[in-house]
Each structure stands twice: as structure tokens, then as C-alpha cells.
Amino acid sequence: MFVDKTKIHIKAGSGGNGIVSFRHEKYVAYGGPYGGDGGDGGDVIFEADPGMTTLMDLRYQKKIKAESGENGKTKCMHGANGQDTIIKVPLGTLVKRDDTGGIIADLTTPHQQEIIAHGGRGGRGNYHFKSGRNTAPRYAEDGKPGEEFDCTVELRVLADVGLVGFPSVGKSTFLDAVSRAHPEIGDYPFTTLAPNVGVVQVNDGRSFILADLPGLIEGASDGKGLGHEFLRHIERCRVILHVLDMGGEEGRDPLEDYRIINQELENYEARLLERPQIVVANKMDLDDAPKNLERFKAAYPDVPVFETMTLIREGLDPVLKKAADLLAQTPPFPLLDEKGEETGITYTFQEKKKDIEIKETEPHVFEISGPKIERTFDIRKLNTEEDYYMFANKMRYMGIDQALRDAGCQDGDTVRISGFEFEFIEN
């Protein structure tokens, strides 16, 4: 089964916690700090595997997670780092974050690796916090959580030239005739249910990759038929081979077919019509083909047409040479994001959201929320007076004290954090 799109949940490993530990040494308070650092969490990495052709493995692997780092050890020993999770995907795989729509990675070269989700940093042990004023710190840092989000993984076939056209116009026969690919060929519409790719060798020694894409129909860009599932694959192609049934074997008018397919390519909003297009007039052995070809040239006098009979492999060499010539002068087209804008970099950075928000929910009651405070605050870690002292210092360092004052918080007011209440005290 050909699978070219799936949604998965990704979670990188969390960093291990630093620990509080002391040496048992005479005349040294608490023996001296001896707690080690936690290990870093593992990353989730995607690797492009030239031997893969489908995202079938990911279809049944909806959650991918990396190993978390180990907690620190005594004797200032570092906890082990979490192992990275490496997922192999086909060449041409594109990864997008669902929450931002930004492209995280575009894997286009063999064995290329990209970090999809970064693991969390390990927390520091208490030996880091020793100072002249505090020779025996009884606190350590917690490890940071790894990145976690939903993403969409798409496969966009890597091909230089793409075959487009209505069903049963001879695209699969063309690919079979010019390459060693052996797509299924039948005398019924939608024989091709998945893109087929083959390497084409031109007589003069040049070569390129040709993709046979499932037949388009009118309304494909709006979700009709099978073609709308595979329009995305054309985005990778630099040249389009537009195959027409010039003999009208299926009872369609080739001029109308040409207009409809180009309209669908334009409606896809990926600037597909900017790619150079070669028109292939196929099935020229049929009775109505010469008449239809004359009508086509009269309607589109500026469009060069190549006459072929793919079934008997006639007229194919000029088409391949023309495609190779166009490839030599056509640069790659940039992929576009959800807004139709170019994404010329691997990572798409989004505008940073507010880390901390302060609201006065009722008179003299202020609530602090936001991802940064949620990562920092953990009521389970506030067990001793020293823990509260460190937490208060961290709030001051993060600028929350001043932000509360700016919001109108006064001495004695109530401050809520993650469902817990504290009293605001002015020193």
C-alpha cells in the first residue's frame, strides 16, 4: 500500500533531574555538596532512506518518543543521556508542525538527518550551587522537558519531470516505454493508484527521474477523484509532461482536457504553471488524432506539441531530449507553506508566544499563567524553607515580581500559580 501522508505525535526525551547529595567528610558541613547532573534527553531524528518508498511504517506508529535522561548520581557523577530515536523515512519527506503549520524538515538527500524534536537539558546537581554564603546547598535543578507536539508527515515524490493528464491518456505506458519502471497498465480509468517513478536515460547520455502521477479530473484541486491526493508530488518537479489523448479514445475532447488540467494546476496554488510544460500528443495512430491535433495547434499556436504513439514507442526520443534541455536551464522551485509563501529554510521560526501572562481575576487576586511558569513551578519540589527561597529568587530573576507590581499587585494580595495560592509580600 502506498501511504504518502500521516499524522503522528512526537515527544523528545526529558532531561534527568540533578540530585542533592553530600559527602561524609569530617569538619565539612553536611560533608560538602556531591550531587551530580541529570543527563540530557534524547532527540527525535528523521533520516532519509533511499530504499524506502512509502510512509507505511509511520501509519501504524502514531506516537514516537525518545529516551529521557537519567537522574544525576552521587560523587558528582553525570546521569546517562537519553538515546536518540532515529526514524527512517523515504526521500522527499516533508515534516510540518500542526500547531504552527511551519516546515520543520525537508529530507531530499540520501541519509540526510534532521532533528525533529530536541530533548530537554538535564538539571544541575547541588554541587553547582555551592558558594561562600551557602557551603551546603540542599537544592538541585530539575531536568527540562523535551519538545512535544503533533506533526504531519508528507511524502512528495522526488522527481525531475512529472507526467500529468486525464486517466487513460497513456502516462503509465509512456513511463514503461522510457524507463525500467513497470507500472500497472490497464484499459480502465484510475489504473494508477500511486505515483510510479523511473530513471530515464536519454540517447545523448543525460538522465533524469520521471514520475507517473495518478490521473487528474476536473475539480481535483477541490478534492475530487484521486488526483488531488497527488498534486503535492508535482511541487518537486521542475518540468511537467502534459500527456493528451489526441485521438479522443475515451470520448473526451483533448482541447478541453488541456484546459481543465491546466486550470487544476493553477487552482492548486503552488505556482505549478510556472514550471515549463511539454505537451505530448499521444495515440496519434487513432483516426481522429490528426484532426484534433490541427484544432489544438489552431487554438494554441504558441504551444509546441510532440506527436507520439507510446504503445509502439514511436516519437519518444524528441520528448526526452526536450525534457533534458529544459531541466538544464530550470532551477528547483521552492516549496510553499500553508500561506503560499516560500520556505527556503529547513526550519520555520514562528513569532514567540508570551511566556508569562498576569491577570487580575478578581479584586486583589492575580493569576500567573504561561508555558514558562508551568515549566518552572512544581509544588512537589517546595518542601523546605530553602526550596521556597530558591523559588522566590527565580521568580524575581524572571521579572515576575516587577510584572506583578506593574499589574497593580500590592503587599498582601493573593497570587495564584497553577491552582496554588501565595501571598505577595513587599520586602
191 is in an annotated binding site: yes
166 is in an annotated binding site: yes
363 is in an annotated binding site: no
Give the mean pLDDT of the chain: 82
172 is in an annotated binding site: yes
Q: Where in the chain are all domains bearing CATH 3.30.300.350?
A: 357-423
For 423, the enclosing helix (H) or strand (E) is: strand 420-423
Q: Determine which of 83-87, 119-123, 231-235, 414-418 has the lowest per-residue pLDDT on average.
A: 231-235
167 is in an annotated binding site: yes
**β-strand pairing of 85-90 with 414-417:** unpaired
252-266 tens-digit pLDDT: 899 998 998 888 888
283 is in an annotated binding site: yes
Q: Residue 342's CB: how many other CB atoms inside 10 A?
A: 11
367-405 tens-digit pLDDT: 888 877 776 677 667 777 777 777 777 788 788 888 888
171 is in an annotated binding site: yes
User: Does residue 66 register a pLDDT over 80?
Assistant: yes
- Selected from 3.40.50.1820, 3.40.50.300, 3.10.180.10, 3.90.1210.10, the CATH number assigned to the domain covering 161-329 reads 3.40.50.300
94 is in an annotated binding site: no
Tell me which amino acid residue 346 is: T
| Superfamily of segment(s) 5-155 | GTP1/OBG domain (2.70.210.12)
190 is in an annotated binding site: yes
Tell me which amino acid residue 153 is: V
Tell me which amino acid residue 1 is: M
User: Does residue 225 register a pLDDT over 70?
Assistant: no
215 is in an annotated binding site: yes
346 is in an annotated binding site: no
C-alpha–C-alpha distance, residues 314 and 329, integer Å: 26
376 is in an annotated binding site: no
| Inter-residue contact 174 to 165 (CB < 8 Å) | no
71-125 tens-digit pLDDT: 999 988 999 999 999 999 988 888 989 888 788 888 888 899 999 999 999 999 9
> In which residue are the cell numbers 512535544 written?
148
Identify the three-state secondary structure at position 248.
Answer: coil
User: Does residue 1 register a pLDDT over 80?
Assistant: no
Spatial CA neighbour of 121 closest among 22, 225, 27, 43 = 43
213 is in an annotated binding site: yes
C-alpha–C-alpha distance, residues 241 and 321, integer Å: 12
CA distance readout (Å), 272 to 107, 125, 159, 233, 334: 21, 56, 14, 11, 11
**β-strand pairing of 357-362 with 365-369:** antiparallel
| Inter-residue contact 225 to 264 (CB < 8 Å) | no
Instruction: State whether CATH 3.30.300.350 applies to domain 357-423.
Output: yes
Q: What is the pTM of this model?
A: 0.64
Q: Where in the chain are all domains bearing CATH 2.70.210.12?
A: 5-155
311 is in an annotated binding site: yes
118-165 tens-digit pLDDT: 999 999 998 888 888 888 888 888 888 999 999 999 887 778 888 888
